[in-house]
Structure 1
Amino acid sequence: MNMIDEKQLTAKWDAIYQGADKAIDWITSVRGNAPRLNTEADSLIYRLRRSRNMAKNLSLATQRPMSVGFFGLSQAGKSYLISALAAGEDGRLKTSMSGKTLDFIEHINPPGGGKEATGLVTRFSRKATKGTQDYPVELHLFSEIEIIKILANAYLYDFNQEKIDFELDEEKVSRLINTLSTQRNATPIAGITHDDVVSLWDYLQRHAEKSQKKLATTFWPKAIELAPYLTIAQRAKLFAVLWGEIDELTAAYQRFSTTLSQLGHAPLVLAPLSALVKEQDGMLVQNDSIMNVDMLERLNTENDNQISVCPVKADSIGAPVRLSLAELTALTVELVVPLLDAPSKALFEHVELLDFPGYRGRLGVETMDDVRRQVNDDSANPLAQLILRGKVAYLFERYTDNQEMNVLVVCTASNKQSDVKEVGGVLTEWIHNTQGKDAQTRAKRPSGLIWAMTMFDMRITNSLNMNEALLRQSWGKGGMIKMAMLERFGQYPWMSDWVNGEAFNNTFLVRKPGVPTPFIQINNGKEIVLNDGSVSQLRVMKKTFAEDETIQRYIKEPDQAWDAMLSLNDGGMQRLASYLETVALKSLKLERINEQLQEVQRDLIGHHLEKWYQSGGEEELLVKRRNAETILRFMQSRPYLQGALLDYLLPPRKALYDLYMQEKEVLNTLNSADKKAVSPAPVSAFAAMEQPTFDLLGDAPISLVPQEDEAPKGHGNEVAYPRKVMALWINHLRSLPDNNALLSYLGIDQEIMVLLVDELITAINRLGVEQRMLKILAGTEAIARRDDLAEQQSSRVHNVLGDFITWFNFKDVDAERPDSKINAGHKIFERPDSNSVQWGNDERLVRLPTTPVNYTFLFVFDWLIALSAIITENAGHSAGREISAEQNALLGQIIQTMKSSVVES
């Protein structure tokens, strides 16, 4: 494979970022005169903003040094691994700040008694140089939108969502949006951008998809546009719904956001050495260290001391700003520790290490008052406990989204199970981003996921008296592997199919050398030899370990893994370090980032922007015929998909009901036909026959001339609601190719789904589905209870959509129906000839045919014939036809920018 140039890759991501920005401006300027574009404009802008966020993150990731993350369900084991890899020849992790030499373990890392005592990420680097003499401590801070994510995370996971006394009131939310819209500032207020709010929405859809559906049509599209123009206090009102309007969380958001504003929203600050250690009686002590999570307990108390820090923006160091230590502890994402000595493992001379704090068990409380009870501490600060849990959970997600590390060492104790249950999902997200979403993609590179089974000295010690039978039970699916891997992670597909049908097996055994054990002789801290009395038992342990089928499945080369773990004064570290040298390579990181660039270009440009661009129409009929052939050849071999597919092509009836309920107040104000509709962003959908012996593609495509009903003249809700439904439906369809779970369930290739959705949307617009809804709703807005009216109207429009997807334009147009290729002598969707005969002279009885008619079979293949006709007739009706030549040329330039590696100035 060709080496990927870092600068070129950065430029390509920058081109995506710039091009997406120009595309947003283009859509905004064109949509007013392009009804079809206007229907999809908001969801397309949403997609472009998502792409901008990704481009920004991956452009920065491309430029960063290679990093290895350490994610510990075993805190003690994690600390040992980092020390063993990054320490100097003397075995110590040393740094120099303000002219003082500090030992990280002794002076900076808080003692945790085996438990996680920090609430931030620690970066060990030989390249860090930003600190000054007076302000040597480099701290990276959260942004304002990330504070919202942390508070929302705490609310979602630390409060029992089934029992908490908070009901999402959609009418109240609509009124709030309308009120804040009248108060918006004329110009943006620093702290939050449109793209930031999109990232927040993405985050919450991953964590609370069901609840976010209620906010999808009114809250989020308006929040994206509105939030950048609101003050901090107004933003607090806007976003408080995301944490159940709990006053303490709202106040925390306002306080932290105000502090960030005072810091000029700087991404990092420089702090004095006292933020970590203080000199006392000639010794450095950890009093008031922001490394210690206990500092959070001082939030909103008189014990909270003040500290001065210098904000840094664009490498410019600002004047000192005062804030509280507890605030700084809460706002700090990362502490950078410059390594003083060359690491004993040369790899880490240029590769950085990231130490993540361990996850905390979630609380499941109903009120703030319950927090102290749940943590068994009457003196605990409820707000601090919530922020800590939300923060440490969000940290790993943040670094995953930013793709800060393409190699991750997951540390699990070999002798006990973690009580944290929420890790599997975030680990899967990291795998999808950095390793690949499927086994085929992951097979292109050596695994960047490394599983370290730590504390093996304790496991061996506890097994010295076991007989062979017990040992055989202790290793595999009923023992260590189940406890450390399968119980928490066995349900995820990557665990059983990492590559080529093989389970994940990149697992290493590790113990800490020099720790007194009954099976190794130690002299002056050095391991000398295995104890004679333990050698025989150790052989049996190795034999039972290596012969276990589950061990063989999840630990590659178990014999070598065992021998490396028992190697004296090493404990398996050299084997782990040797593997890291093969995978912690910048070239592998760039390969994966480049793959994601190609995915974004294919999706954003190929699947979305280019369909609005007209490069020449003379071949459009041939293109439509090819599209029809591609779709039909795929689907006619899978007739069993039809029922499920038709269901997913429709928006859920509940979504139509909710749309009516949510929008009615707004819809009542939309009485002029030229008032712009705000289309909702995508709404997630994912919510046996014999093979045919004929070919549906054997004859030329059948012509269809649709007959459109004259659009009725409606007003008020009768006009606005169908317009909203069109936007909802089209954006629902656009979301289907992105729904990997749905594609897997249906067994449909993404490219096939993209083609199908494109052609259906063209047909929906071409054949006047909106006019049909207008006609059926005309004169129906009578005085009635709102929920009854919503049920009636949503049912009516759902029937219209269902009829279209089921029959296309052929339900009531017999003369225009193409010929059926399975029901000979008939048009599609016609009943076959009856084979029954009268039973004697009794007209009430008939003799049934020996073989019953397979009506499902007839419908499926008639539907495919109808689909082929619809697609062919779409020629000349593509989305870009409503766009002027000048606008089309500008779009072409934007697309070229996004495809180019040259960034325009």
Structure 2
Amino acid sequence: MNHFTPEQLKREWLSVAEGANQAIEWIDDVRENAPRLNTEAERLKLKLRRSRNTAQRLATAAMRPMTIGFFGLSQAGKSYLISSLAAGDNGRLETQMGQHQLDFIEHINPPGGGKEATGLVTRFSRQSHSSNPDWPIELLLFNEVEIAKIFANTFIHDFNQEKIDWSYDEKRIGDLLTSLNNRRQARKISGLTEDDVVSLWDYLIRHAEKSQSKMALQYWPAAVELAPWLSIDDRAQLFSELWGNIGEFTEAYRRFAYTLQRLGGASVVRAPLNVLVIEQNGRLVQSNSIMNVDMLERLNKSNDLQVEVCPELENGLSAPVSLSLAELTALTVELHVPLLSSTQERLFEDVDLLDFPGYRGRLGVESTAYFQQMTENDDSNPLAQLILRGKVAYLFERYTVNQEMNVLVVCTPSNEQSNVKDVGGVLDEWIRYTQGVDAVSRSRRPSGLVWAVTKLDLRITQELNKSEDMLREVWGQGGMVKITMTERFGHFPWMQEWQPDCAFNNTFLVRKPRQATPFIMMKEGNEVGLNQETEPKLSLMKKTFLEDSAIQRHIAFPDQAWDAMLQLNDGGMRRLADYLATVAQREIKLERIAEQLHETRHELIEGNLIAWFQQDNAEESAKKERIADDILKVLQRRVGMHGELLVSLIPQRKALQELYMQETPLELPDDDKVSNESIATFGIGSDFDLFSDTSDESISALSHEQMFAQQVIKLWVNYLRTVPEQTNVTNFIGLPRPTIETLVDELITAIQRMDIEGELVNVLANTEQAGVRREKMVERQVSRVLNVINDFITWLGYQKITKEKRPVSKYNKGHPLFSGPNKHDPALWKDDGHLYRLTSEPLSYSAMFIFDWLIGLKEMIKENVGHSAGREITAAQNERLGTIIERIQLSSE
């Protein structure tokens, strides 16, 4: 792995982004005269847009300072850890904002009484930054697409999807798209790009993959191309399908989007001090603070206040813009707190700390009438409560996708159980992004996940009077380890195996020192020693703690963890800080970003674009021979998983059913304002061009059967391209990704070469019956399609070739492929056809089929010579693609 500087990594990623942009333009220019490229064009463009999003995010992440996130299921414990690590020598988190010196705990942090009282992220930093005495508060804001993500999150997780009175309706979607296309603007409207909509699509897939499969056929491909050209009002209508057409959400989206537009799309604004504190009787006090979640309750209420902020744009601070305090509370992602004094821990002079608000339980609303029911109480604001839950949930996801922090401290109280169930998924996502997707990749670096079990003083106090037998029940799988770790997270692979053959065990025990406890003696506010009366009990506790198997599994060096936690006036903080100093290294972060650079380049080039690039036509035959041999060498070592491999190459029956049931797209009115560059089809959902300014007579002339056959090939080919990305499948089968990618590419070439689409058309021809509803035909038609697909995957086309013309089997010597043995080979038969004696050795029909299939695959690959995807593009187009590949592969310098 190369060692990059931050600047080099930024250049490399921006080069990938630019290459992806050029590749999208190349596809749009070439696809019209390249049928096979056209079949995969929408999938390729989607992949390129996703890669461009990743490249932009990681180019930014490479230049950011090293950051540690604190994610609390224990709010009090989290606050104490941050104060202990980032405070100055006087023990305070102090900051200078304008003319005032503030103590974070006293002046800014809202009193929560143990509960999470804020709804934004706080960044503590010693990094130099610009300041303005009149506008001292630096706030990071959401952008427009993130507002859509928050409302979608709220609808999915706060509304009971089994009971809510809303369902996907294809006709409603089609009518909506037709109507919005008619209102398409002559130029793009700022605030949203095609890539933003792709990120929204990806977000919904992660949260509601099942429901999004239907929308992937028609809604999403159209939304990607259409949304940037719509007014904010029309975008709100387009995205309202993502939150069940709930009017209150749609109106709030409109309001927030218009506010962001008035702010010039700024991601950072400067605010006056009074958004945090005001001066009363010579003292600074919290009043109307955006840090307090209660401010959000004023949204759309008469007691909301107006405040001015200055957008920070490329040319400096812009003129003040007025908005309501509740709006600012909702739109704020992060408050930047510049630390005034040097930190007690030298590490945090160069490392930022992020304090995340704790997750909240979701509501499970069963009806959209919830708003009417709740607003009968004048003090209630159901919209604010729902926005808060969606926002807090989204915040951690946002920082995860942007890879803002490569070290995360998860704080869980040792003495109580969390009732929040939704944390595991987002934590799993953060691990995959920043630590690695599997145990092998995670083993390359020290663990960036740090588990801090807090409030050990309370836990020990409540266990002091228990017997040895009872103590053996309080630590491990039935006690502390269960409630803090395994009950909510034990089913995740990383908890079971962080590194090969080793469970996650990077766990630290922490207590708050200088608190009155029965087992530590105090003098003048300091801890001076263990209470001699409780020492025998503490020793017994330690003994049972160390002997517990779950403790040994999930806490590394448990004896050190216990002793450090009891360290006087420290409580385990020194040991935790020492570990953070070893792992919070920028080189580790850059190494992980560089790994993803390599993965992204491989995925774009070897997994996608290289299939269309012809390097040297004269060598194609020899190249195919090498490809076939390389694939067979790998596959023959995994013959025991051959059945699973074949199944993985066949699309899901349900996907074909949904495709068949899709409504025939409506022809939309001509739009002379639509430029050629903006035209895009519905991808695998239809051949109809939604935004074309001319009707397509060839499509209108096709029967539903013919259109279905075309769409099946598109769906199947694009599905095959996703198989190498399905790590759960490929890991189970045990095949390396490059092998699967090459196999898929050759199968797709054979599908085109053998004209499987034509075979589907023939099978489906004249099978639909006039007057019979489509839902009555779907099972029959999908079965016909699957018979063709299954035959191809099973026999590789050789079932249509006479035995005399098939290659010869190497396993069943002397016989053509897939012909089976002679009748007398495995047994002896009488003249009347009755069996009278078996041979001494049985014949393995499974082995015969598998090895014939492998030989057939090799011959199929050799027969693909001259039919590669790149054959349909010109020399000039091929040269242009080669330049694009070089752009992605190499840095801009």
Interval containing the TM-score (normalised by the shorter chain): over 0.9
User: What residue number does 2:696 align with?
Assistant: none
In 2, Cα distance between the equivalents of 1:39 and 1:148?
Answer: 31
**What per-residue deviation string (whole Å, max 9, x for no partner) do you get for residues 291-340 of structure 1?**
11111111111111111111112262111111111111111100001111
1:438-495, CA deviations, whole angstroms, 9 ceiling, x for partnerless residues? 1111111111111101111111111111122211221111111111011111111111
**1:372 touches 1:378 (CA, 8 Å); kept in 2?**
no
Match of 1:708 in 2: none
Match of 2:790 among 784, 798, 802: 802
Matched residue, 1:624: 624
Other structure's SS at 2:474 match: helix
SS of 1:551's partner is helix
Change in CA separation of 1:187 and 1:847 when aligned onto 2, cut-off 3 Å:
farther
1:709 counterpart residue number: none
Paired amino acid for 1:314 = E
- CA deviation string 1:717-760 (max 9, x = no partner): 34332222211111100011111111122222212211111110
1:849 & 1:203 partners in 2: Cα distance?
Answer: 61
User: Could you say which residue in structure 2 is the equivalent of 1:208?
Assistant: 208
- 1:552 offset after TM fit, Å? 1.5
What's the CA shift string for 1:653-699, capped at 9, x where partnerless? 221221122242359999xxxx98542399xxxxxxxxxxxxxxxxx
Q: CA deviation at 1:857?
A: 3.3
1:515, distance to aligned residue in structure 2 (A): 1.1
SS in 1 for 2:471: helix
Distance 1:793 1:558 in 2: 62
How big is the shift at 1:138? 0.7
- The answer for the alignment partner of 2:759 in structure 1 is 772
Equivalents in 2 of 1:171, 1:294: separation in Å?
Answer: 41
- 1:269-280 correspondence to structure 2 within 5 Å: 269-280=269-280
2:683 maps to: 679
Distance 2:365 2:846 in 1: 51
Paired letter, 2:650: L
Match of 1:888 in 2: 878
TM-fit CA distance, 1:364: 1.0
**C-alpha distance 583-93 of structure 1, shift in aligned 2 (>3 A):** same
In 1, are the aligned partners of 2:408 and 2:448 still within 8 Å (CA)? yes
What is the aligned partner in structure 2 of residue 763 from structure 1? 750
Residues 108 and 760 (structure 1 numbering): CA distance in 2 closer, same or farther, change over 3 Å?
same
Indicate the residue corresponding to 2:94 in structure 1: 94
Secondary structure at the counterpart of residue 532 of structure 1: coil
* Partner Cα distance (1:743, 1:124) in 2: 42
Pair 1:788-2:776 in alignment: yes
**Structure 1 residues 856, 791: closer, same or farther in 2, change over 3 A?**
same
1:688 is matched with none
Q: Are positions 1:811 and 2:815 aligned together?
A: no
**C-alpha contact (below 8 Å) 1:365/1:371 kept by paired residues:** no
Residue number in structure 1 paired with 2:818: 829
* Alpha-carbon distance between aligned partners in 1 of 2:519 and 2:113, rounded to the nearest angstrom: 25
Matched, 1:871 2:856: no
- Residue 695 of structure 2 is matched in structure 1 by none
Amino acid at match of 1:564: A
In structure 2, what is the Cα distance between the partners aligned to 1:340 and 1:498? 38
Q: Distance in 2 between matches of 1:236 and 1:373?
A: 25
User: 2:33 — aligned with what?
Assistant: 33
Match of 1:640 in 2: 640
Q: Is the 8 A contact 1:46 1:681 kept in 2?
A: no
SS of 1:322's partner is strand
Distance 1:156 1:166 in 2: 12
Q: Which runs of 5+ in 2 are unaligned?
A: 671-678, 687-699
1:632-652 deviations in Å (ceiling 9; x for gaps) = 222223223222222221111
Q: Which residue of 2 aligns with 1:492?
A: 492
- Looking at structure 2, the residues matched to 648 and 467 of structure 1 have their Cα atoms a distance apart, in angstroms, of 56
Two-structure CA RMSD over aligned residues (Å) = 2.5
> Aligned equivalents of 1:208 and 1:92: distance in 2?
44
- Find the counterpart in structure 2 of residue 159 from structure 1: 159
Calculate the TM-score normalised by the size of structure 1: 0.93
Deviation at 1:264, TM superposition (A): 1.2
Aligned partner of 1:743 among 727, 730, 733:
730
- Deviation readout 1:258-296 (Å, 9 max, x if unpaired): 111111111011111111111122222211111111111
Q: Bigger CA drift: 150-159 or 831-840?
A: 831-840
Alpha-carbon offset, residue 152 of structure 1: 0.6
- Structure 1 residue 251: Cα displacement: 1.2
> Deviation at 1:780?
3.9
User: Cα deviations across residues 547-581 of structure 1 (Å, max 9, x unaligned)?
Assistant: 22221211111111111111111111111111111
Secondary structure of 1:821's aligned partner: coil
- The whole-number CA distance in structure 1 between the counterparts of 2:54 and 2:380 is 39
Worse-matched range after superposition: 500-509 or 830-839: 830-839
Higher mean C-alpha displacement, 658-667 vs 524-533: 658-667
Matching residue's letter, 2:110: P
Are the counterparts in 2 of residues 73 and 358 from structure 1 also a CA contact under 8 Å?
yes
Shift of 1:795: 3.0
Q: How does 1:321-340 map to 2 (within 5 A)?
A: 321-340=321-340
Contact 2:42–2:681, Cα closer than 8 Å, also in 1 = no
Which has the higher mean CA deviation after the structures are superposed, 821-830 or 527-536?
821-830
**Structure 1 portions without partners, runs of 5+:** 683-712
Identity of aligned residues (%): 55
Partner of 2:389: 389
Aligned residues: 871
- Farther-moved stretch of structure 1 (774-783 vs 298-307): 774-783
Give distance in 2, aligned partners of 1:342 and 1:89. Answer: 7
Aligned-pair CA distance for 1:2: 6.3
Inter-CA distance 315–555: structure 2 relative to 1 (3 Å threshold): farther
Q: 1:848 to 1:192 in 2, by over 3 A?
A: farther
How much does 1:837 deviate?
8.0
- Separation in 2 of the partners of 1:667 and 1:721? 18
CA distance in 1, matches of 2:534, 2:374: 45
Deviates most, 779-788 or 478-487: 779-788
Residue 860 (structure 1) aligned to one of 842, 850, 854? 850
Distance 2:877 2:588 in 1: 40
TM-score, length-scaled by structure 2: 0.94
Shift in Å at residue 406 of structure 1? 0.4
Quickly say closer, same or farther: Cα 1:510–1:518, change in 2 above 3 A. same
- Verify the 8 A CA contact 2:417 2:484 in the aligned structure 1: yes
Name the residue aligned to 1:900.
890
CA distance in 1, matches of 2:301, 2:872: 62
DSSP-derived class of the 1:354 partner: strand
Q: Which runs of structure 2 are paired with 1:155-194 in the superposition (5 Å)?
A: 155-194=155-194
Residues 515 and 37 (structure 1 numbering): CA distance in 2 closer, same or farther, change over 3 Å? Answer: same
Provide the C-alpha distance between the structure 2 equivalents of 1:303 and 1:765, rounded to a whole number of angstroms.
66
SS in 2 for 1:214: helix
State the SS of the aligned residue for 1:473. Answer: coil
Question: Amino acid of the residue matched to residue 194 of structure 1?
Answer: E
Letter of the structure 2 residue corresponding to residue 795 of structure 1:
S
Q: Which amino acid aligns with 1:794?
A: V
Report if aligned partners of 1:163, 1:366 keep a CA contact under 8 Å in 2: yes
The 1:361/1:837 distance shift into structure 2, 3 A limit, reads closer
Q: How does 1:463-612 map to 2 (within 5 A)?
A: 463-612=463-612
What SS does the corresponding residue of 1:637 show, helix, strand or coil? helix
CA–CA separation in structure 2 for the residues paired with 1:837 and 1:891? 59
* 1:475 alignment partner, SS class: coil
Partner Cα separation in structure 2 for residue 565 and residue 418 of structure 1: 22
Larger deviation, residues 739-748 vs 827-836 = 827-836
Distance apart, 1:221 and its partner CA: 0.8
Q: CA–CA distance in 2 between the matches of 1:452 and 1:419?
A: 18
State the shift of 1:369 in Å: 4.3
AA at the equivalent of 1:774: V
Q: Is the deviation greater in 874-883 or in 813-822?
A: 813-822
Q: Which amino acid aligns with 1:49?
A: R
Distance 1:756 1:398 in 2: 36
Q: Cα offset for 1:776?
A: 2.5
User: Residue 690 of structure 2 aligns with which residue?
Assistant: none
